[in-house]
Amino acid sequence: MIRRKNEAILTAPTLLWLILFFVVPSIAMVVISFRPASIYGGVGEGWTLDAWRALGNPNYPVILWRTVRLSLVTTVICLALALPIAFVLGRMQGKWRTILVMIVIVPFWTNFVIRVAAWRILLHPEGMLRQSLISLGIIGNDTLLLYNEGAVLMVMVYTYLPFAILPLYAAAERFDYSLLEAARDLGASGFTAVTRVFIPGISRGLLTAMALVLIPALGSYVIPDLVGGPGDEMIGNKIAQRTLGDRNLPQAATLSVALLLITLIPMIVVYYLNRRERTHPA
């Protein structure tokens, strides 16, 4: 049944589609980053390093660093919250497990813009939450819940948490919980058993979760735009501004290539660690 011709028929449509609309555009992006901007908002002729030099402009390194910092903090918080949840879910059996997994997944299926909008409305200066906090005296009259880094972080955690829970749960589901009893039997405290046996046991899920949160977090644009203030911009906001605000496409391309390079780091780390684990199984 196996024929080269069949393989080509099955492979070609999608592969060609992805080469045309994914690979070629990515290359175009790199190429355009070395082009000058035209006055009409397009891409000019000739070659230049202007857009790359502009990255030295003190504005960009600050934003790049903020992007990385916020994404890393989001990842750490997401993993910290997802670990106990995966631990509980993995140990459960039967109907309740399915129901709880569904409860965790359902918000994830609701529209992304609506989820962020919900937070914006909830934290709105005129909103119920801020007004009640003020009347309870918990926050002062001049404290805003919106337009600050805290809001950005919280909504990022809210958005990316399912990406951490699902792979960790998948790993915990395969984890043999009797190993924890064995560890306790051999003298480990509950906490030690979890750190020395459970976490190494689901290490691959942990890696996947890390990548699945960190990578999209680095590309955040909607969240800082809707719930952040002017001082909370991330690289995604700058790319959008350069694209649709002042229409400097080569600059947008340069920033995107920089973002791409940053996201490649966790991808390569995960790939390398995964491969090492496969060749030296724990």
| Interface with another protein in residues 144-183 (CB under 8 A) | 158, 161
- Which tokens sit at 73? 């903090």
Number of chain residues interacting with another protein (CB under 8 A): 81
Residue tagged 């995960």 (tokens): 270
- Residues contacting residue 60 through CB under 8 Å, at least 6 positions apart: 54, 238, 255
Subset of 20-59 contacting another protein (CB under 8 A): 21-26, 28-29, 32, 42-43
Closest CA to 108 of 212, 221, 229: 212
CB of 78 to another protein, least distance (A): 10
CB of 50 to another protein, least distance (A): 16
Residue 134 lies near another protein (rule: CB under 8 A): no
Residue 113 lies near another protein (rule: CB under 8 A): yes
Select from 81, 133, 144, 273 the one that contacts another protein (CB under 8 A): 81
Residue 99 lies near another protein (rule: CB under 8 A): no
Binding string, 193-232, against another protein, x = CB under 8 A? Answer: -x----------------x---xx-xx-xx--xx------
Q: Which helix (H) or strand (E) holds 244?
A: none
Select from 152, 210, 236, 248 the one that contacts another protein (CB under 8 A): 236
Select from 62, 139, 179, 267 the one that contacts another protein (CB under 8 A): 267
Residue tagged 């984890």 (tokens): 175
Residue 84 lies near another protein (rule: CB under 8 A): yes
Give 202-259 as a 3 state SS string.
CHHHHHHHHHHHHHHHHCCCHHHHHHCCHHHCCHHHHHHHHHHHCCCHHHHHHHHHHH
Select from 68, 118, 170, 273 the one that contacts another protein (CB under 8 A): 118
CB of 150 to another protein, least distance (A): 14
Residue 106 lies near another protein (rule: CB under 8 A): yes
CA distances for 66 relative to 4, 228, 276, angstroms: 50, 13, 31
Provide the 3-class DSSP secondary structure of residue 45: coil
Select from 63, 64, 210, 252 the one that contacts another protein (CB under 8 A): 252
- Residues contacting residue 58 through CB under 8 Å, at least 6 positions apart: none
Rg (CA), the chain: 23
CA 92/CA 68 separation, integer angstroms: 36
CB of 114 to another protein, least distance (A): 4
Closest CA to 84 of 181, 4, 199: 199
**Of 44 and 282, which has the nearer Cβ to another protein?**
44
Provide the 3-class DSSP secondary structure of residue 43: strand
- Residues contacting residue 76 through CB under 8 Å, at least 6 positions apart: none
CB of 53 to another protein, least distance (A): 20
Closest CA to 121 of 149, 145, 142, 98: 145
Residue 97 lies near another protein (rule: CB under 8 A): no
CB of 126 to another protein, least distance (A): 5
CB of 276 to another protein, least distance (A): 19
